[in-house]
Chains A and B, each alone.
Chain A
């Protein structure tokens, strides 16, 4: 892993969930690129999906009301970001594995740069047929065309995520 990222991940005990998601997103992406370059399509595809999922979870935790707080008082931290209903405090929506519906990421798209961001997030449709369960499958259904398409989308979303971390805003 890179020197700069390595240095800043030193204080891992105090690191936040969004910090972990950000680093995981980049790690999954780089591993996927490595596998894709070697023609190992099923696992490349699997890691591109995870890269996107982690980047979006990092963005949701940074820019929206999504939280990893325990879902009930005194409980353990949540395993995935979730959004409380303002009225009841109960889980209104939980962000699991891809694929997500367009409505799932609508939380991110308001404000000045919403239209531009919506355009990037609309490309998430490339992951409609992606599933976390493909790690248990024989991989025969994974095509080079699908992986290339998903790689392009993953790169766009990872770029967006990286820019958001540097500039402090989503666009």
Chain B
């Protein structure tokens, strides 16, 4: 019984609930700990195979949950699967994850966790896009910054041009729906397609997306003849005479529809844009490189872009508390939902707006960045302590050292240069050779291109 006068808060509830779940599993039954949208816990005991749980045990567990979790116990804190209508839905949910802190012990049942949130569930659902049916590979890269204003969209535009220069068919998808940038940046107004990603999401919900114009070629002329640069903007240019209600559409795009949640719908929208490039382009080629300009912050679009849509995520940041605090929270969420191993090798830090002045030399700045980045990533890395009996690291352990320059935490630098301000409209031929572009973006463009075009199935992946 908890007699403490101090109220139980959100963070204290989970370890307590897990401890009770683990005790319940010690009876040899599988249990599922469900957290609801307000943070309250229900423990579902799967008694269907075991032929029942003793009534005394049920009463005891129910009482413990209510007493130890206080407001964080659900109205019915303990449920037996045999008495539920929806036991199969709950216990068979793909969203239920094994508890990473409690591996299954001999003779115990399993403990799994099912978290229900209002937004952001896709952070805990990591997967990587599959190879196309014809065996070709579309390289999808998300560009993300925890904080905005770090030059992410400008870098996206330059990287897209660079990749097109290398002969790739590049599609930039502006997923920053709340503050579109890449669309207008890459295509001047007249060239924007009639429709945008929001139109694709709205119309496809009603099975009405055929004939939408969601991509447009940019005016950029790549150096290599075969390269192409396309853009799928968040907002289209609309039709003359009909008001374009961007906000009214935006306020509806996050809807789940029967059979498809928002993540499925966003994935389908990106694919529709890729198909449109092949359909509308003179070459008929599908994009082989897709850059997803994700929005900043811990947001659903970013969650889907990073967790599901891409095979590489470039994480932008500056060496400051805001950056590391934010990435620290995000990485902790991946770790606690059991996603660390699935996500970490997709990630790569980009140090943006790196200073280089006598007061703040670049070398020292990047060294400090790398140390903070490594500390932050360590929650996603495996333990690097050797096994006591053998003195060897656990086979297959992923635990890069601070110095490892191919590790996710190792920053790819972009230098800050005053010449970059106002670069937005700069698509003139020869931009690549300008000294300040070379100095600021040279390493970013080269390294990112290598990472993006590497076969993720090989050892040379990011």
Interface residues of A (CB under 8 A from B): 2-5, 7-8, 19, 112-116, 119, 155, 158-159, 162-163, 165-169, 171
Give complex CA distance A165, B44 in Å.
13
Majority SS at the chain A contact face: helix
Chain B proximity of A66: nearest CB distance (Å): 18
| Cβ-neighbour of B258 out of A4, A5, A116, A167 (below 8 A) | A116
Q: Let me know if B250 is at the binding interface, CB within 8 A.
A: no
Report the Cα distance A84→B79, complex, angstroms. Answer: 35
Q: Of residues 239 to 279 in B, which have CB atoms within 8 Å of A's CB atoms?
A: 254-258, 262
Do A2 and B42 contact each other (CB < 8 Å), given the known contacts A116-B258, A119-B258? Answer: no
Contact check, A158 vs B79: say whether CB atoms are below 8 A apart. no
B85 in contact with A115 (CB, 8 Å): no
B80 touches A167 (CB 8 A): no
A4-B58, A114-B255, A115-B258 as given contacts; A155 in contact with B85, CB under 8 Å: yes
Query: Judging by beta carbons under 8 Å apart, are B37 and A169 in contact?
Result: yes
Is B75 in contact with chain A by the CB < 8 A criterion?
Answer: yes
Quick check: is B62 within 8 A (CB to CB) of the other chain?
Answer: yes
C-alpha spacing A119/B259, complex, angstroms = 11
Docked Cα-Cα span, A77 to B134, in Å, equals: 66
| A166-B91 Cα distance, complex, nearest whole Å | 12
18 contacting pairs across A/B (C-beta < 8 A): A2-B83, A3-B55, A3-B59, A4-B58, A4-B83, A112-B262, A114-B255, A115-B205, A116-B257, A119-B258, A159-B86, A162-B86, A165-B74, A166-B42, A167-B116, A168-B36, A168-B116, A169-B116
Q: Which residue of A lies closest to B78 (CB)?
A: A4
Interchain residue pairs A-B with the least CB separation, the first 5 = A168-B36, A168-B37, A167-B116, A115-B257, A159-B85
Across the interface, do A168 and B86 meet the contact criterion of CB distance under 8 Å? no
Chain B residues with Cβ below 8 Å from A162 are 84-86
Docked-complex contact B80 and A159, CB < 8 angstroms: no
For window 51-96 of B, CB contacts with A under 8 Å fall at: 55, 58-59, 62-63, 74-80, 83-86, 89-90
Interface centre among A4, A8, A159 (most CB of B within 10 A): A4
Q: Are B58 and A7 in contact (CB under 8 A)?
A: yes
Expressed in whole angstroms, the minimum distance between the Cβ of B402 and any Cβ of chain A is 42
Query: Residue on B with the closest CB to A155?
Result: B85
Q: Determine whether B190 belongs to the interface, using a CB cutoff of 8 Å to chain A.
A: no
Interface residues of B in 1-58 (CB under 8 A from A): 34, 36-38, 40, 42, 44, 55, 58
Q: Which residues of A contact B80 (CB under 8 A)?
A: 2-4
B118 lies within 8 A of chain A by Cβ: yes
- Expressed in whole angstroms, the Cα–Cα distance for A159 and B83 within the complex equals 12
Contacts A3-B80, A8-B77, A168-B116 supplied; 8 other A-B pairs, CB < 8 Å: A113-B255, A113-B256, A115-B256, A115-B257, A116-B256, A163-B86, A165-B75, A166-B42
* B36:A166 contact, CB within 8 angstroms: yes
Partner of B75, one of A19, A113, A119, A163: A19
A158 contacts which chain B residues (CB < 8 A)?
85
Contacts A115-B205, A167-B36: A4 and B79 contacting too (C-beta < 8 A)? yes
Residues of A within 8 A of B40 (CB): 168
Q: How far is the CB of A54 from the nearest CB of chain B, in Å?
A: 14
Bound CA span A22–B37, Å: 19
Bound-state CA distance A1–B42 (Å) is 19
**Residues of B close to A5: CB separation below 8 A:** 76, 83
Q: Which residue of B lies closest to A110 (CB)?
A: B255
Residues of B within 8 A of A19 (CB): 75
Question: Nearest CB to that of A22 among chain B residues?
Answer: B75
Contact B76 A169 (CB under 8 A): no
B76 contacts which chain A residues (CB < 8 A)?
Answer: 4-5, 8, 165
A145 CB to closest chain B CB, in angstroms?
Answer: 23
Residues A167 and B37 in contact, CB atoms below 8 Å apart: yes
Which chain A positions have C-beta within 8 A of B59?
A: 3, 7
Flag if B256 contacts A171 (CB, 8 Å): yes
* Complex interface: chain B residues within 8 A of A119 (CB): 258
A112 to B74, CA, bound (A): 23
Interface residue ranges of B397-425 to A (CB < 8 Å): none
Output the nearest chain B residue to A115 by Cβ-Cβ distance.
B257
What separation, in Å, do the CA atoms of A171 and B86 have in the docked complex?
A: 13
Are A163 and B258 in contact, with the CB atoms below 8 A?
A: no
Residues of A within 8 A of B63 (CB): 7
Which of A8, A113, A163, A169 is in CB contact (< 8 Å) with B62?
A8
The residues of B that contact A4 with a CB separation of less than 8 Å are 58, 62, 76, 78-80, 83
Complex contacts, A171 vs chain B, CB 8 Å: 256
CB-CB nearest in chain B for A23: B76
Question: What residues of B have a CB within 8 angstroms of the CB of A7 in the complex?
Answer: 58-59, 62-63, 78
Residue numbers in A under 8 Å from B205 (CB-CB) = 115
Once bound together, how far apart are the Cα atoms of A5 and B82, in whole Å? 12
Q: Which residues of A contact B38 (CB under 8 A)?
A: 168
| B118/A169 in contact, CB under 8 A | yes
CB distance from B59 to the nearest CB of A (A): 6
Residue ID in chain B nearest A170 by CB atoms: B37
- In the complex, what distance in Å separates the CA atom of A166 from the CA atom of B74? 7
**B 149-183 to A, binary, CB cutoff 8 A, 1 in contact else 0:** 00000000000000000000000000000000000
- Name the A residues within 8 Å of B78 (CB-CB): 4, 7
Please pick, from A3, A112, A163, A167, the residue contacting B255 in the complex, using a CB distance under 8 A: A112
- Greatest chain B CB density within 10 A among A19, A115, A159, A167 is at A167
A3, A115, A166: the one contacting B90 at CB < 8 Å is A166
> Which residues of chain A have C-beta atoms less than 8 A from B75's C-beta?
8, 19, 165
A35 to chain B, nearest CB (A): 18
A159 and B258 contacting across the interface, CB-CB below 8 Å: no
In contact, A159 and B36 (Cβ under 8 angstroms): no
Q: Establish whether residues B34 and A166, one from each chain, have CB atoms under 8 Å apart when the complex forms.
A: yes
- Which B residue sits closest to A161, measured CB to CB? B85
